């Protein structure tokens, strides 16, 4: 910036160089000499230029032949001379001394004036550049910012007429970003681009092509371009100055000023100044454009985030709405079994509906037993607290009964229906009315209605869907309640026990559903990145295996590179999740991760494998001793209390250790063995560690061998059914057999399911084994015999879409009677996928295959399953049978009696399992159990060995 102002001041001095030493100095020196003397003063200064002053005027030319007396010297880098013409002889020395001092002081004063002018010019330029920089950061539109740039430029030089263009050097197009001219009426459109052929022989395009400043009268510049002035392209300028704007050496625009006045002309200083200012304006424009782009990106990202937030909020609202609906349906199903009377049931249903929508005005109307009128069995209303029965008329309620469809009516819709004679109103005028039919076995048995008298409460289509969905369950529950009402008086004691058991099972079911829901939500939140765990930030399993491969390579390549894999599983972590929530569990996992990380060195690796499982790759300089010492320290560190969600928790963990051994081929095997050691530690008691040894290795090998044997057995069909008889307890009559799976192992002989069932489930081979058993049982059915045959069906079969088709395919191929086949399922199958399981069971029942609920009472049964699913038989688990004469015989006796009474009420047969003593047999018979099964009645055996086929 100082160089630019220096050039400006120097140019100014060069334009006014003869004023450096005033003529009065020469006159004063001449006055000190005798008459007729002539004095000429001359100087040569890099800053002030060259010049001279003479007295009398014109005497300088007379001395060109050489003055009689002259002195030359240099002062502060300036060449000075004084020449004198004097007829009387040379001036005295005093005069020369005075002349030298006067000239030097005058010159010094002139230089100071020029330096002050230079500083003022620099300050003015600096202030202008500061203002340009401030404008770039101001919240201004581009056009307004460029107008301010023009004002700043005009304060530095003559720039009344100015324009700024942007240049695309690829497409050779320009845009006039700014245009201001006193004579040219051209109106610039910043959004329009001009191509070169639209502006032929343009000085602007010539400037942009060459990339160098261009100045001079427009006529002369056009002549250089071999062109002449065209009035249609604007007025002719007396002086035209343009400089390119460069970005990374490429021309990206230009700024041009021009003058129509003789007094305002441009010189080299103006060119330098304009070029310097142009680059700062370009920088300011770039900053402004970058700021605008950034603001647009921020605005666009803000919109995206707002949209994502809205979607998330809508999803949360919808999920909460679905959870609320599920809870309402579950409560209604529970009420159908637990309500002590119809009036209580109606009131409780009203409470459930009130959790879903505004139900301050609510009533239930039922079709009377004759089918010719309505009974308003329940009504809560601001204006009509009670409603009398009435014969069918033209009311809104009867309208729904006739049309069998829901009705959502605003005040206008009600008026329209009334005016058309379709309906008439009873009671107070409602502002909004919503009614839904109650169905039982596809018959309309009543109507459930909510209405509003306030314009602030208006029901929606969503409310209609909710109430319709709820009404379906209410209709079923209502029918069930009516039936139960007829039985209540005769079975008061039984109903009390059933109600108690129902509440217990419902509580268990609530807890189970809560656990399942919490588990599912936790699993959905646990998304893993490619190499790190999203919750804790630790490496994940993939990352750990990569590091293990490196450690194995180092261990194989050199001595002393021993290491261990530690597998940590937190004890009772599920209790934390189930009791105070997954958020607390996550917080606990994060804290545990921090504690482990704080204990390891930079060479070690901690990974979260999932859930509450962690693995540590530990460098062990001292082998097993180092690993054990570290494990003990880590278990102690874990035991320190932590505060989670306002609760003080004392975590602990079980550790498995697998030491590096050359027999390991990869990291998966090390992690697998450390995992196995961890399970041994848990089996020995929590909060301890175990080291993987050869015994555990041999057990793992035995599991592998058993799996191989199992696969061969499937191919060789080495599985056979053993049949255990099922007897009628009252007379000992054989009614059927349960087919039990046995494996005829080639080396180990006959194996019970307990020897291979867990492995079969884990490997997924159990399904193939089951189908081999089903095929043999169905073949036995086709051979005839007495009674039915039942087989156990794993819940995993109900996840297969073709289970029913495949089963009936076997029955048809064998020519067997499906009515003699029964399937035994557990309560887990009913929980797994309710709608799918219901469809499969209904298909089986429709084609003659009955379903028995096995091990009843050991799971999380809800009594609602007994009326929802087509269950023909309850098999009471042998643990209850054994307890009939045990320590808790009274409570077990009451519980079994309640189950049997409930089964009789619902028309479901009962089978007591595991009858081993005559006392158990007699007690079950006394309590009313239909059938029995157990060693007392017959042991499992091949069909040929049974007493009756």
pLDDT of residue 499: 78
For 813, the 3-state DSSP assignment is: helix
Cβ neighbours for 171, distance < 8 A, ≥ 6 positions apart: 193, 195
Position 387 in a domain: yes
102 and 144 share one domain: no
pLDDT of residue 8: 46
- d(C-alpha 753, C-alpha 740), whole Å: 9
For 911, the 3-state DSSP assignment is: strand
Backbone angles phi, psi at 718, to 5 degrees: -90, 20
Is omega for the bond preceding 56 within 30 degrees of 0, making it cis? yes
pLDDT of residue 9: 41
C-alpha pair distances (Å), 625 with each of 563, 615, 660, 675, 681 = 11, 18, 13, 19, 18
C-alpha pair distances (Å), 201 with each of 165, 207, 222, 223, 224 = 16, 11, 8, 10, 11
Res. 529: pLDDT tops 70: no
DSSP 358-412: --SSEEEEEE-TTSSEEEEEEEE-SS-S----EES-SSHHHHHHHH-S-EEEEHH
763 and 906 share one domain: yes
Position 515 in a domain: no
172 and 82 share one domain: no
736 and 785 share one domain: yes
Tell me the mean pLDDT in the region 212-238.
80
Q: Report residue 949's pLDDT band, with 50, 70 and 90 as the boundaries.
A: very low
Tell me the mean pLDDT in the region 705-729.
92
Structure tokens at 927: 């309590």
C-alpha pair distances (Å), 799 with each of 260, 508, 524, 767, 829 = 91, 24, 21, 11, 9
Q: Are 780 and 810 in contact (CB under 8 A)?
A: no
Residue finishing a domain among 638, 669, 692: 692
Q: For 363-394, give one letter per residue: b (16+ CB within 10 A) or e.
A: bbbbbeeeeebbbbbbbbbeebeebeebeeee
**Which of the two residues, 946 and 178, has the higher pLDDT score?**
178
**Residues 769-807: pLDDT tens digits?**
999 999 999 999 999 888 999 999 988 888 888 999 999
Res. 4: pLDDT tops 60: no
Provide the domain count of the chain. 5
To the nearest whole number, what is the mean pLDDT of the chain? Answer: 84
CATH of the domain at 598: 3.30.70.270
DSSP label at residue 236: P
- d(C-alpha 53, C-alpha 42), whole Å: 7
688 and 709 share one domain: no
Positions of E strands within 697-733: 719-728
Cβ neighbours for 372, distance < 8 A, ≥ 6 positions apart: 391, 392
583 and 673 share one domain: yes
Position 8 in a domain: yes
Position 653 in a domain: yes
pLDDT of residue 408: 92
Domain that holds residue 844: 705-945
pLDDT of residue 911: 96
Position 659 in a domain: yes
What's the per-residue H, E or C state across 7-68? HHHHHHHHHCHHHCCCHHHHHHHHHCCCCCCEEEEEEEECCCEEEEEEECCCHHHHHHHCCC
Res. 945: pLDDT tops 90: no
Q: Quick one: which of 721, 715, 780, 720 has its CA closest to 744?
A: 720
DSSP 420-436: TTS----SSPPSEEEEE
pLDDT over 70 percentage in the chain: 89
pLDDT of residue 783: 92
Q: Report residue 11's pLDDT band, with 50, 70 and 90 as the boundaries.
A: very low
pLDDT of residue 485: 65
Cβ neighbours for 919, distance < 8 A, ≥ 6 positions apart: 884, 885
Q: Report residue 527's pLDDT band, with 50, 70 and 90 as the boundaries.
A: very low
**Residues 33-86: pLDDT tens digits?**
888 888 898 888 877 778 888 888 767 665 655 567 888 988 888 888 888 888
483 and 552 share one domain: no
Res. 1: pLDDT tops 50: no
Tell me the mean pLDDT in the region 618-628.
86
**Residues 206-223: pLDDT tens digits?**
888 888 998 899 888 888
**Residues 835-864: pLDDT tens digits?**
888 899 999 999 999 999 988 866 545 566
**Residues 401-441: pLDDT tens digits?**
998 899 999 999 989 988 888 888 888 889 999 999 988 87
**Residues 74-117: pLDDT tens digits?**
888 888 888 888 877 889 988 998 888 888 888 888 887 877 77
pLDDT of residue 528: 42
Q: Report residue 614's pLDDT band, with 50, 70 and 90 as the boundaries.
A: very high
pLDDT of residue 559: 58
Least confident of 85-94, 545-554, 689-698: 689-698
CATH of the domain at 257: 3.30.450.40
pLDDT over 90 percentage in the chain: 27
pLDDT of residue 111: 80
pLDDT of residue 757: 86
Q: Are 146 and 178 in contact (CB under 8 A)?
A: yes
pLDDT of residue 936: 95
Q: Please give the torsion angle defined by the CA atoms of residues 749, 754, 755 and 759, in that order, rounded to the nearest 10 degrees.
A: 140
575 and 597 share one domain: yes
This prediction's pTM: 0.38
550 and 416 share one domain: no
**Residues 446-470: pLDDT tens digits?**
999 999 998 999 999 988 888 888 8
Q: Please give the torsion angle defined by the CA atoms of residues 663, 665, 671 and 674, in that order, rounded to the nearest 10 degrees.
A: -10
pLDDT of residue 487: 66
Position 506 in a domain: no
Cβ neighbours for 131, distance < 8 A, ≥ 6 positions apart: 148, 152
Q: Quick one: which of 464, 197, 505 has its CA closest to 357?
A: 464
Pick the most confident of 25-34, 152-161, 470-479, 669-678.
Answer: 669-678
pLDDT of residue 60: 64
Residue finishing a domain among 487, 506, 539: 487
235 and 97 share one domain: no
Structure tokens at 540: 């994940």
Structure tokens at 88: 């009387």
pLDDT of residue 142: 74
Residue finishing a domain among 240, 271, 294: 294
Position 313 in a domain: no
434 and 371 share one domain: yes
Q: How many residues comprise the chain?
A: 949
What's CA 220's distance to the chain center, in Å?
A: 68
CATH of the domain at 893: 3.20.20.450
Structure tokens at 230: 């065209």
Position 79 in a domain: yes
Q: Are 600 and 617 in contact (CB under 8 A)?
A: no
Q: Are 691 and 624 in contact (CB under 8 A)?
A: yes
669 and 733 share one domain: no
């Amino acid at each position: 910036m100082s160089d630019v102002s220096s050039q400006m001041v120097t140019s100014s001095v060069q334009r006014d160089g003869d004023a450096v030493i005033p003529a009065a100095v020469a006159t004063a020196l001449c006055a000190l000499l005798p008459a007729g003397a002539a004095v000429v003063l001359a100087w040569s200064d890099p800053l002030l230029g060259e010049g001279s002053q003479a007295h009398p005027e014109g005497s300088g030319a007379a001395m060109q032949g050489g003055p009689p007396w002259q002195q030359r010297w240099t002062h502060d880098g300036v060449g000075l001379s004084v020449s004198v013409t004097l007829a009387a002889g040379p001036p005295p020395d005093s005069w020369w001394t005075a002349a030298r001092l006067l000239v030097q002081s005058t010159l010094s004063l002139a230089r100071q004036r020029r330096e002050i002018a230079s500083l003022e010019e620099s300050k003015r330029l600096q202030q202008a550049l500061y203002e340009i920089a401030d404008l770039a950061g101001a919240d201004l539109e581009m056009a307004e910012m460029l107008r301010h740039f023009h004002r700043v430029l005009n304060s530095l030089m003559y720039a009344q007429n100015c324009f700024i263009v942007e240049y695309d050097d690829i497409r050779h197009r320009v845009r006039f970003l700014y245009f201001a001219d006193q004579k040219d009426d051209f109106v610039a459109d910043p959004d329009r681009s001009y191509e070169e052929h639209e502006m032929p022989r343009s000085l602007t395009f010539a400037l942009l092509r060459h990339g160098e400043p261009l100045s001079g009268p427009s006529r002369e510049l056009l002549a250089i371009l071999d062109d002449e002035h065209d009035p249609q392209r604007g007025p002719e300028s007396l002086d035209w100055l343009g400089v390119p704007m460069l970005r990374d050496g490429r021309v990206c625009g230009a700024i041009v000023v021009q003058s129509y006045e003789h007094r305002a002309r441009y010189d080299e200083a103006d060119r330098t100044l304009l070029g310097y200012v142009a680059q700062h304006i370009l920088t300011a424009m770039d900053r402004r454009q970058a700021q605008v782009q950034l603001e647009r990106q921020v605005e666009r990202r803000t919109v995206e985030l707002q949209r994502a937030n809205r979607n998330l909020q809508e999803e949360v609202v919808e999920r909460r709405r679905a959870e609320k609906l599920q809870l309402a349906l579950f409560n209604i199903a529970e009420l159908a079994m637990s309500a002590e009377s119809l009036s209580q049931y109606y009131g409780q249903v009203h409470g459930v509906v009130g959790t879903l929508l505004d139900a301050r005005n609510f009533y239930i109307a039922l079709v009377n037993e004759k089918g010719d009128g309505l009974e308003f069995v329940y009504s809560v209303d601001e204006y009509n607290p009670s409603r009398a029965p009435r014969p069918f008329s033209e009311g809104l309620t009867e309208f729904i009964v006739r049309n069998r469809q829901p009705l959502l009516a605003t005040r206008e819709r009600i008026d329209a229906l009334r005016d058309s004679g379709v309906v008439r109103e009873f009671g107070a005028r409602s502002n909004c009315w919503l009614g839904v039919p109650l169905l039982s076995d596809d018959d309309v048995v009543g109507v459930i209605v909510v209405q509003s008298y306030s314009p602030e409460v208006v029901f929606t289509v969503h409310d209609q869907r909710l109430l319709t969905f709820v009404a379906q369950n209410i209709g079923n529950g209502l029918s069930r309640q009516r039936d139960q009402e007829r039985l209540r008086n005769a079975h008061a004691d039984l109903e009390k026990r059933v109600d108690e058991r129902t509440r217990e099972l419902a509580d268990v079911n609530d807890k189970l559903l809560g656990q399942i829901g919490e588990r599912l939500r936790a699993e959905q939140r646990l998304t893993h990145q490619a190499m790190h765990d999203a919750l804790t930030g630790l490496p994940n399993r993939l990352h750990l295996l990569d590091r293990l491969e490196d450690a194995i390579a180092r261990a194989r390549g050199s001595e002393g590179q021993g290491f261990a894999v530690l597998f940590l599983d937190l004890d009772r972590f599920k209790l934390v999740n189930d009791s105070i929530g997954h958020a607390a569990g996550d917080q606990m996992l994060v804290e545990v991760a921090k504690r482990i990380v704080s204990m390891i060195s930079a060479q070690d690796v901690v990974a979260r494998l999932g859930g509450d499982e962690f693995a540590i790759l530990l460098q062990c300089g001292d082998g097993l001793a180092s690993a054990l010492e570290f494990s003990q320290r880590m278990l102690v560190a874990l035991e320190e209390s932590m505060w989670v969600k306002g609760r003080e928790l004392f975590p602990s963990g079980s550790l498995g250790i697998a030491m590096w051994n050359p027999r390991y081929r990869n990291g998966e095997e090390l992690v697998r063995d450390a995992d196995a050691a961890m399970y041994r530690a848990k089996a020995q008691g929590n909060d301890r560690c175990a080291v993987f040894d050869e015994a555990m290795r041999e057990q793992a090998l035995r599991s592998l061998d058993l799996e191989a044997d199992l696969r061969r057995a499937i191919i060789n069909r080495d599985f056979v059914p053993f049949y255990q008889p099922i007897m009628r307890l009252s007379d000992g009559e054989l009614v059927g057999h349960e087919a039990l799976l046995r494996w005829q192992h080639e080396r180990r002989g006959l194996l019970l399911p307990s020897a291979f069932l867990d492995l079969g489930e884990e490997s997924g081979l159990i399904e193939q084994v089951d189908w081999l058993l089903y095929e043999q049982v169905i073949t036995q059915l086709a051979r005839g015999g007495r009674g039915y045959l039942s087989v156990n069906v794993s819940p995993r079969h109900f996840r297969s879409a073709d289970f029913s088709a495949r089963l009936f395919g076997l029955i048809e191929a064998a020519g067997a009677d499906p009515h003699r086949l029964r399937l035994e399922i557990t309560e887990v199958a009913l929980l797994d996928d309710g709608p799918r399981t219901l469809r499969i069971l209904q298909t089986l029942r429709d084609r003659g295959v009955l379903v028995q609920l096995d091990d009843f009472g050991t799971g999380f049964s809800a009594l609602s399953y007994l009326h929802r699913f087509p269950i023909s038989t309850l098999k009471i688990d042998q643990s209850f049978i054994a307890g009939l004469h045990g320590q808790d015989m009274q409570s077990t006796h009451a519980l079994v009696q309640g189950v049997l009474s409930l089964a009789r009420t619902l028309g479901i047969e009962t089978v007591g399992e595991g009858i081993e003593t005559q006392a158990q047999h007699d007690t079950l018979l006394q309590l009313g159990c239909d059938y029995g099964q157990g060693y007392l009645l017959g042991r499992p055996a091949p069909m040929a060995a049974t007493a009756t086929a």
